[in-house]
Structure 1
Amino acid sequence: MSLSSLCAFADIVIGSFSVVIGHRAKPRDAIVTKSYEDGVRSEQQLPLGGYKASGKLVSTQEASPTPRRARVHLIYCPSASASASASRKPPLQPCWFRELPLQHKQVVSIDEIIDEFESLTRDAGRVQQDTLRKILELNADAEYLNHFNLDRRTDSKSFKSCIPLCVHSDIESYIQRIADGDNSLVLTGKPIASLSVSSGTTQGKPKFLPFNDELLESTVQIFRTSYAFRNREYPMGNGKTLQFVYGSKQVYTQGGILATTATTNLYRSWRFKEAMNDIMSQCCSPDEVIFGPDFHQSLYCHLLCGLIYSDEVQLVFSPFAHSLVHAFHTLEEVWEDLCADIRDGVLSKRVTTPSIRQAVSKILRPNPDLASSIYNKCQNLSSWYGVIPALWPNAKYIYGIMTGSMEPYLKKLRHYAGHLPLMSADYGASEGWVGSNVNPTLPPEEATYAVLPNIAYFEFIPLEKPKGEEMENSSTIHYIESEPVGLTEVEVGKIYEVVITNFAGLYRYRLGDIVKIAGFHNLTPELQFICRRSLVLSINIDKNTEKDLQLAVEEAEKLLAAEKLEVVDFTSLVDKSSDPGHYVIFWELNSDNASDDVLSSCANSMDLAFVDAGYVGSRKIKTIGALELRVLRKGTFGQVMDHYLSLGGAVSQFKTPRFVSQSNSKVLQILSRNVTRSYFSTAYGL
């Protein structure tokens, strides 16, 4: 047996690695050396997981508190010819060792990806039926399906007649059992190993949703598809991406199930990282920055790493537009410190997390010329217009979710982007993906998403608005619903609520998203996102419903009860006139005798009562401002009702709007002129 046949290598990815064994001996242990990107090597003797035939994977786990990418080289392994007693391991002998490149980027054919997409969408109806059949076959033993007597049938007619439409509250008890450690087949044909924490809420609590490998694969397919269409318009080379991405803390439920945001589930997945390496330029920042515990330190280092590689950056990306705006607003404040770091090659003392300091310091070298260039460009900018192309001259476009609640940030983002195009990312939710942006040249306000017919089974509930209802106030619209229709049965120009059945245990699940059919790509519809059906309050990634608002008010009312006060009526507003935006809650009380101390405490109580993960996280890092309580004169909501009645409404049909949009100028005027006192929360500090 030749020494070269013993060579092996693999990637370290998030705490585990695999070693390819290329010989037919039965290995007991192997000594591996790990070569990290920073040049550090470590050597360790590790047990291999048992013999596999040549070319197969043998896996072993390694605890790694700080994930780093590395190549693993097998440099010693047991000799097949060595004699040893049963109580003695074979002696370790050296193998042939060779260096391998750290970056191994697979060539991806955009033509093949697009051809596959075209084939799927030309036969979207059949693909949908095949997808439903696969979902039901894989999950035939799931308790949920058996509860409704589906009896292993896989046709759409039986499925729709047996399985009811549902919302999260209908399946919450099933998901809670999974979170509590129930390892039986509750929702799927195999146990769920991890959960996503949705940024939405249910009854004032963050909600869990199943996450599995199939959802991961659908994410990869969505990203590959949109990448292909983007790359056809804006070809990318081998440069880097300036990514403003932040991982959240991973927690384990009482039953030992991993629970984190869907984004973190993705960015901690070796499969996702592998796929992204093939279709997206390498991120400027090391993983330690992405998964750092302090948002402000991570943001500073994202900017710093992006400037270090400024000539190589081809794409600027963040999942949400508001994160991009916040990043460049921060650049306005810290640019001189960043220049100093680059000039001296020493990381600012504002970065205190050891893992981040160590990782970033390894790529930071003194570069006075680059520092001077950045300094001069920043000084010569007019109100920071066009800062992105100025500092990153080879960037081709800005990418992120820019529709829905992100649209208010487009004006400022365009200011920073200058001549660079803005491109809206794909359409999905924690529950699963829906469609890809295959028309990347459209402005974000007109973005559409072509549904991929093989990633889930989709239905659409036709919605009609009663006469007199305004689309802007989506939380108070009483839609007239019809029976759900299939993917290929929707009609252009009409609005629908999206219903999804996916591979992760959601069956006929109402997403609560309202979409308009903008057209078709072959036989699959192109959707335009309109709004959340029940969403009342949202500034960036936060999502709070009318129920959440009600719970917050009820919590604060407990403080009023001791003073024999009560809330007569209430509504809300998202105020984005200041930066950052903040929630405004309007109260009309039954008495004018409420003390300032009590009302200040009420503002704090409501601020803390919004437990949506997106809101809490944004409040902590100050990307959402302090909640404001505005107290109104008695009779104010009577004036609001009079206004609606003057438009032809009926008292029997009147409901106080729980949310007032900025475009509803008449009602805003009524509220504003009747404000008597105002209190800002101090619950998250001043």
Structure 2
Amino acid sequence: MHFVSDCYYDFIRSISTCRAFPVDGGGKALQFVYGSRRFTTKGGLTATTATTNLYLAQGYKAAVRGIQLPSCSPDEVIFGPDFAESLYCHLLCGLLFAGEVRVVFAMFGHNLALAFEALERVWEELCHDIRRGAPSPARVTSPAVRRAVSALLAAPNPALADEVARRCAGLTDWYGVIPALWPNARYVHTIMTGSMEHYVRKLRHYAGGLPLVAMDYGASEGMVGANVEPEMPPESATFTVLPNTAYFEFIPLKASDDGAACPDASYAEAEPVGLTEVTVGEHYEVVMTTFAGLYRYRLGDVVKVAGFYNSTPKLKFVCRGILTLSINVDKNNEQDVQLAVDTASKILAAERLEVLEYTSHADASSDPGHYVIFWELNAEANDDVLQSCCDELDRAFVDAGYVSSRKTKAIGPLELRVLQPGTFQKVMDHYLSLGAPVNQFKLPRCVAKSNSSVLRILSSSTVKVLFSTAYE
């Protein structure tokens, strides 16, 4: 059932994107995709992620051959044992087929940003590998991966190496690197909604004028909606519900505070309504009953109905409904955190600085408790700029419970911690070491008290600490 539904979904996606961005035959896709570990359950069943299962499925490639471009990378790279090695090889394979690449793809915007940040560091090594016709023995150590990539390299190609080096050296701050190295690419395709919206600015920088196409709305539980207007910018993307992939219901949500960026599950809920009974402009939580056996399963996603496509609603993803930060009577969600970071980042932009990654923590160990925001920046900022950012972060949380609690000192001053470069890579490595799939990895935008390992990484990597003076 999953195989059939995924092929159907790929067909729907292909129609909408190809209509907006026609791709001629014979091209390839630069795909930053990674297989995950498979394990055997106590009952003897093999378990893995849906994406890995799909890529391993017999007949899947043949079924989608007419509607999907083949990957530049061989399966040995996709299912390689080491993430860093596979990432390096994806870049190498992409450069070998540079003229044939029509689409640049990753499951999440985070993975794409990570890939091009890596390219900034290793482009000279990639050129060296192409020039000598063999993959780096230091970068590519897995025998199977090395054999597969060596077969593609085949022979030294100094002309291609020189061309890649010339184009990389000619870039200004890596702006437009994608069309510079892959001139026939038509668009960049990835998930850029929710917590991934943070990466849109970075991806737009790498893409230059190349369109960013928001990938469709799916979950581990099943497909929800397709982006039938792929030409829209990611910030405005809506997803048309696919009514035959599951039985959908929607729980109406009403925030008690009109200023809240995202209604969450602690607010009043009405009885679920059907697919055609939703109201444009209202917020809902998505509920699915699936062919696989889930009955009235709450996804935890908050969406806003933006309109209808014929009789099926078009949804705008708002946020995860799970509460992110709370100390007292305050309630702030992942979108509230993102909006606060975006607001404070404007101060950094004036100094040609940017937030590469961020997360948050509700620290109740002190009295009163307070919010902690962790930032990793692209360069060092002076203390005056950081203090202004810290104050602006504090002011940007406009939830009525937070504001009143700050004014009455029931919540302490917000704390901004600036981290060493590479800290969030350590966080990612930690999760990968626990078996987290790269394709589905999402950096947590709030770190709970129980997640002591990640808190230790963040604390040990802190280089500057500032406290807000916004309410003094």
* TM tier relative to shorter chain: 0.7 to 0.9
How many angstroms apart in 1 are the aligned matches of 2:21 and 2:289? Answer: 34
Alpha-carbon distance, 1:508 to partner: 1.0
**2:122 partner amino acid:** V
Deviation digits for residues 311-349 of structure 1, max 9, x if unmatched? 000000001111111100000000000000001101101
Alpha-carbon distance, 1:216 to partner: 2.7
The 5-angstrom pairing of residues 276-287 of structure 1 reads 276-287=64-75
Q: Is the 8 Å Cα contact of residues 104 and 188 (structure 2) preserved in structure 1?
A: yes
Alpha-carbon distance, 1:266 to partner: 1.6
The alignment status of 1:267 with 2:10, answered yes or no, reads no
Alpha-carbon distance change, 673 to 436 in structure 1, aligned in 2, over 3 angstroms? closer
**1:359 partner amino acid:** A
Q: Is the 8 Å Cα contact of residues 38 and 47 (structure 2) preserved in structure 1?
A: yes
In the other structure, the counterpart of 1:671 is 414
Provide the secondary structure at the position in 1 that maps to 2:252. Answer: strand
The alignment's C-alpha RMSD in Å is 3.5
Q: 2:118 aligns with which of 323, 330, 333?
A: 330
Q: 1:232 aligns with which of 1, 4, 19?
A: 19
In the other structure, the counterpart of 2:157 is 367
Alpha-carbon distance, 1:533 to partner: 0.7
Alpha-carbon distance change, 684 to 432 in structure 1, aligned in 2, over 3 angstroms? farther
- How many residue pairs are counted as aligned between the two chains? 380
Alpha-carbon distance change, 439 to 646 in structure 1, aligned in 2, over 3 angstroms? closer
How many angstroms apart in 1 are the aligned matches of 2:266 and 2:234? Answer: 28
In the other structure, the counterpart of 2:143 is 354
**2:14 partner amino acid:** Y
Alpha-carbon distance change, 590 to 326 in structure 1, aligned in 2, over 3 angstroms? same
The 5-angstrom pairing of residues 61-460 of structure 1 reads 214-237=1-24, 238-349=26-137, 350-364=139-153, 365-460=155-250
Alpha-carbon distance, 1:579 to partner: 3.4
In the other structure, the counterpart of 1:478 is 266
How many angstroms apart in 2 are the aligned matches of 1:488 and 1:224? Answer: 24
In the other structure, the counterpart of 1:164 is none
**1:405 partner amino acid:** S
Q: Is the 8 Å Cα contact of residues 570 and 586 (structure 1) preserved in structure 2?
A: no
How many angstroms apart in 1 are the aligned matches of 2:456 and 2:402? Answer: 36
The 5-angstrom pairing of residues 485-496 of structure 1 reads 485-496=273-284
The alignment status of 1:463 with 2:253, answered yes or no, reads yes
Alpha-carbon distance, 1:647 to partner: 5.9
Q: Is the 8 Å Cα contact of residues 222 and 435 (structure 1) preserved in structure 2?
A: no
Structure 2: runs of 5+ lacking an equivalent: 343-353, 373-396, 419-453, 462-472
Provide the secondary structure at the position in 1 that maps to 2:140. Answer: coil
Q: Is the 8 Å Cα contact of residues 215 and 503 (structure 1) preserved in structure 2?
A: no
Provide the secondary structure at the position in 1 that maps to 2:415. Answer: helix
The alignment status of 1:505 with 2:293, answered yes or no, reads yes
The 5-angstrom pairing of residues 558-573 of structure 1 reads none
Provide the secondary structure at the position in 1 that maps to 2:316. Answer: strand
How many angstroms apart in 2 are the aligned matches of 1:304 and 1:460? Answer: 45
Provide the secondary structure at the position in 2 that maps to 1:314. Answer: strand
Q: Is the 8 Å Cα contact of residues 461 and 485 (structure 1) preserved in structure 2?
A: yes
Q: Is the 8 Å Cα contact of residues 570 and 587 (structure 1) preserved in structure 2?
A: no
Alpha-carbon distance change, 389 to 449 in structure 1, aligned in 2, over 3 angstroms? same
Alpha-carbon distance, 1:232 to partner: 1.0
The 5-angstrom pairing of residues 38-49 of structure 1 reads none
In the other structure, the counterpart of 2:304 is 516
In the other structure, the counterpart of 2:366 is 589
How many angstroms apart in 2 are the aligned matches of 1:423 and 1:282? Answer: 19
Alpha-carbon distance change, 684 to 291 in structure 1, aligned in 2, over 3 angstroms? farther
**2:308 partner amino acid:** F
How many angstroms apart in 2 are the aligned matches of 1:384 and 1:589? Answer: 43
Structure 1: runs of 5+ lacking an equivalent: 1-213, 538-545, 551-568, 592-602, 604-640, 657-666
How many angstroms apart in 2 are the aligned matches of 1:588 and 1:684? Answer: 14
Provide the secondary structure at the position in 2 that maps to 1:311. Answer: helix
Q: Is the 8 Å Cα contact of residues 223 and 436 (structure 1) preserved in structure 2?
A: no
Q: Is the 8 Å Cα contact of residues 498 and 510 (structure 1) preserved in structure 2?
A: yes
Alpha-carbon distance change, 533 to 352 in structure 1, aligned in 2, over 3 angstroms? same
**1:360 partner amino acid:** V
How many angstroms apart in 2 are the aligned matches of 1:337 and 1:580? Answer: 26
Alpha-carbon distance change, 535 to 346 in structure 1, aligned in 2, over 3 angstroms? farther
Alpha-carbon distance change, 446 to 682 in structure 1, aligned in 2, over 3 angstroms? closer
Alpha-carbon distance change, 583 to 249 in structure 1, aligned in 2, over 3 angstroms? farther
Deviation digits for residues 528-581 of structure 1, max 9, x if unmatched? 1111111528xxxxxxxx8xxx9xxxxxxxxxxxxxxxxxx9999787965343
In the other structure, the counterpart of 1:579 is 356
Deviation digits for residues 9-54 of structure 1, max 9, x if unmatched? xxxxxxxxxxxxxxxxxxxxxxxxxxxxxxxxxxxxxxxxxxxxxx
Alpha-carbon distance change, 373 to 221 in structure 1, aligned in 2, over 3 angstroms? same
How many angstroms apart in 2 are the aligned matches of 1:415 and 1:339? Answer: 23
Deviation digits for residues 168-202 of structure 1, max 9, x if unmatched? xxxxxxxxxxxxxxxxxxxxxxxxxxxxxxxxxxx
In the other structure, the counterpart of 2:456 is 681
Alpha-carbon distance change, 435 to 381 in structure 1, aligned in 2, over 3 angstroms? same
Alpha-carbon distance change, 398 to 509 in structure 1, aligned in 2, over 3 angstroms? same
Q: Is the 8 Å Cα contact of residues 323 and 331 (structure 2) preserved in structure 1?
A: no
Instruction: Kindly name which structure, 1 or 2, has the bigger radius of gyration based on alpha carbons.
Output: 1
Normalised by the length of structure 2, the TM-score is 0.73
Normalised by the length of structure 1, the TM-score is 0.51
Deviation digits for residues 229-265 of structure 1, max 9, x if unmatched? 1101111122100000001100111111121122212
Provide the secondary structure at the position in 1 that maps to 2:104. Answer: strand
Q: Is the 8 Å Cα contact of residues 498 and 511 (structure 1) preserved in structure 2?
A: yes
Provide the secondary structure at the position in 1 that maps to 2:167. Answer: helix
